[in-house]
Amino acid sequence: MTQARRTFLVMLGVPGAGKGTQARLLEEALGIPQISTGDLFRYNLKNQTELGLLAKSYMDRGELVPDEVTILMVQDRIQREDCQKGAIFDGFPRNLVQAVALDQMTAGDGGIRRVLMFNLDDDEAMRRITGRRTCPVCGTVYHVDYNPPKVEGRCDLEGAELVQRDDDKPETVKTRLYVYYKQTSPLVGYYFAKGLLTEIDGTQPIDEVQAQLLAVVQSEPVA
Ligand code: ADP
Ligand code: ADP
């Protein structure tokens, strides 16, 4: 029996553009998992693994964690059982070395199915990131103004006290935006040239972005 081609999607855009929020919603809608390299690093950090401690020094500065460890971590992650139908990459790839590695990892499935590029200007990205709050238990992401929890400061699902990420402070965000333009933005051209890029207006409210995304993804032919 031939196995169906897996669906690999990539979310691209500045920090704060809404990649994680949309990846989680799409995960539910499509039944394929979100792979967030930022979340994987934070998980490792919480568990005090060697990888987590290495990643921390880069994350604290807003710089990219070295490619070698990042790529190995993703390779390991996509071999897990829950990725048998595919995966939604959020925050990976972040430079051309990682993009080429992802092409190789997905080659057996005909490559990446589509790249969703979220457009948002820097001022709005800054407002989104500085107002971002996360549940330390389930990882649900909120915004103090744009997407507040029902009870201020508490997760709707877990009741846990929401936290602000250490790297979501304005000084670090500036470095992250710089790193995005220098290292990640060339991927827009890379994927455009491959005919894989779809631009999404990231300024729309969360549910409208979701509707637009679903329309794009569901119009893709499924092998
Ligand atoms: P955001 O959602 O705001 O874009 P992430 O959670 O994706 O932030 O990333 C947080 C930090 O984790 C980055 O600033 C970087 O240090 C590290 N990181 C995440 N993904 C990668 C990656 N693909 N390559 C290298 N470093 C990464
Ligand atoms: P990224 O993963 O691209 O860094 P997130 O999904 O974490 O971005 O979103 C950043 C912040 O902006 C979060 O606080 C989130 O609740 C909020 N947010 C996400 N999408 C939207 C949107 N379409 N409109 C307003 N706020 C949003």
pLDDT tens digits, 188-200 = 999 999 999 999 9
pLDDT for the residue 219 = 84
HSE (side-chain half, CA atoms, 13 Å) at 160: 15
Question: Which ligand neighbours the alpha carbon of 22 most closely?
Answer: 2
pLDDT for the residue 3 = 65
> Could you report the per-residue pLDDT of 120-176, keeping only the tens digit for each?
999 999 999 999 999 999 999 999 999 999 999 999 999 999 999 989 998 999 999
The H or E element that residue 134 is part of is: strand 132-134
Burial class (CB in 10 A: 0-12, 13-18, 19+), 58: middle
Measured from the CB, is residue 202 less than 6 Å from ligand 1? no
pLDDT for the residue 105 = 96
Q: pTM, whole model, 2 decimals?
A: 0.95
Query: How many whole angstroms separate alpha carbon 205 and alpha carbon 200?
Result: 12
pLDDT of residue 66 exceeding 80, the answer is yes
223: confidence class by pLDDT, cuts 50, 70, 90: very low
Phi and psi at residue 110, to the nearest 5°: 80, 15
Q: Which residues are catalytic?
A: 19, 94, 132, 165, 176
DSSP H helices in the chain? 19-30, 37-46, 50-61, 67-78, 96-106, 122-130, 170-179, 186-193, 206-218
CA of 53 to the centre of ligand 2 (A): 26
Burial class (CB in 10 A: 0-12, 13-18, 19+), 54: middle
Query: How many whole angstroms separate alpha carbon 5 and alpha carbon 147?
Result: 35
Structural domains of the chain ordered from first start: 8-120+184-218 (3.40.50.300)
- Under a CB-based contact definition with an 8 Å cutoff, are residues 95 and 64 in contact? yes
CA of 159 to the centre of ligand 1 (A): 27
Measured from the CB, is residue 92 less than 6 Å from ligand 1? yes
